[in-house]
Amino acid sequence: MKLCNNNISKTVLYWSTLIVCRLFLHFSLEIPVLYNDSKSYIDYSLSRCLRGPLYPVFIDFFQYIFDEKYYLGVIFFQIVIGFVAVVVLRKTIEEALNAIFMKSKVNSDISYILAFIYGTSPVVVNWDLVILSESLALSITCFFIFFSVRYIVQENEKDGLLAVIFSLTGFFTKTALFLYTIDFLMLLVLMKMSGRKNLAKVSAFTATILVIYIAVIYWVRVQTGIWGFSTLQVYHPAYKAIDSGLYMNYYDAEIVNSISSVLETDTSVFKATDKVLELVGGYRELKEFADYCINSNRIAFLKYNFGLMLDAGRSSFAVFAHPKGIRAYFNIINGGFTK
């Protein structure tokens, strides 16, 4: 009984310490932290419905409840889910080690150490305060790995189905996470090759998810004329054509003047790009706009992209060079916090 109470006390102390460390990192930044890209989630347009629609809907939900203070709900939810993800990650590590090696207290100790390192890393924790999908994507990744490991170890169909559901959730949060479904499909193949049974339901569900991905790829092809998972493959070049100023070389004076008008009144490149999409009538036409502008001066476009890389490099270096560390990092990237 005394040993049990001692273990409970150690567990409470561990998680309390981790929470305090995470809160310390959270309070080191003003909220919310906004990037330029954050506006594309906040001012979400239905025309970009395949830009991972889950996070914009998530923001809309809290805007409906809290109005202008929506970011408080978003950040609080991200903080809570981020912590739950650490708890899940620790369990995942322990279960994986127990499956690979003989079950022992050492495996549990290692899981606690690794989870603490992950759960108190500023690179991970401070995403909770940012209005971008990275925080949710990290948490979803932890849940996906957790159920995948449990499915391998325990061969429970429910865990396999949940792993696939989280891979789909990840895809609609960040389209690049479709790779999780591919990874899980490869896992099923390996399990089948190793003689595992009872894979039928999970395999069928995974195949259904792949059909959804194929439908998305086809829809993007119809809309844009190119193969891919997102209309952003066309939207981003158009955004850069406007942000770099190369839109001024476009042959249609009406569109050029409309872009300039939006930039003068709102300064939002995303809104200016949406305006172009509205004027030209579709993504195929938006691609033509982007191609024309970029091809009008490829050297200038290369210099623009090189400048973006230099800015990103300087911002990353600032976290080590500036005495205020991570706070300075976000400040320098954003040019100050925006609420």
Tokens for 200, please give them. 């039928």
User: Within the chain, where are the H helices?
Assistant: 2-26, 39-42, 54-66, 70-100, 105-119, 122-125, 134-154, 157-173, 178-193, 200-224, 232-243, 253-265, 269-280, 283-296, 298-321, 325-334
pLDDT at 120: 92
The overall average pLDDT reported for the chain is 83
pLDDT at 45: 65
pLDDT tens, residue by residue, 56-87: 888 888 988 888 888 889 999 999 999 999 99
Does residue 243 surpass a pLDDT of 60? yes
Smallest Cα–Cα separation from 267: which of 257, 259, 255?
259
Tokens for 2, please give them. 């005394």
pLDDT at 48: 60
Predicted confidence band of residue 269 (pLDDT cuts 50, 70, 90): confident
Does residue 195 surpass a pLDDT of 90? no
8 Å CB contact between 107 and 98: yes
Does residue 338 surpass a pLDDT of 60? no
pLDDT tens, residue by residue, 99-153: 888 888 888 999 999 999 999 998 888 899 888 888 999 999 999 999 999 998 8
pLDDT at 315: 54
8 Å CB contact between 229 and 220: yes
Averaged over 327-338, what is the pLDDT?
42
8 Å CB contact between 25 and 122: yes
Predicted confidence band of residue 156 (pLDDT cuts 50, 70, 90): confident
**What does the H/E/C string look like for 67-104?**
HHHHHHHHHHHHHHHHHHHHHHHHHHHHHHHHHHCCCC
Does residue 327 surpass a pLDDT of 60? no
pLDDT at 77: 94
pLDDT at 41: 79
Lowest-confidence segment of 30-34, 162-166, 273-277, 310-314 by average pLDDT: 310-314
Smallest Cα–Cα separation from 36: which of 304, 327, 236, 174?
236
The β-bridge partners of 33 are 130
Averaged over 321-336, what is the pLDDT?
44
pLDDT at 110: 93
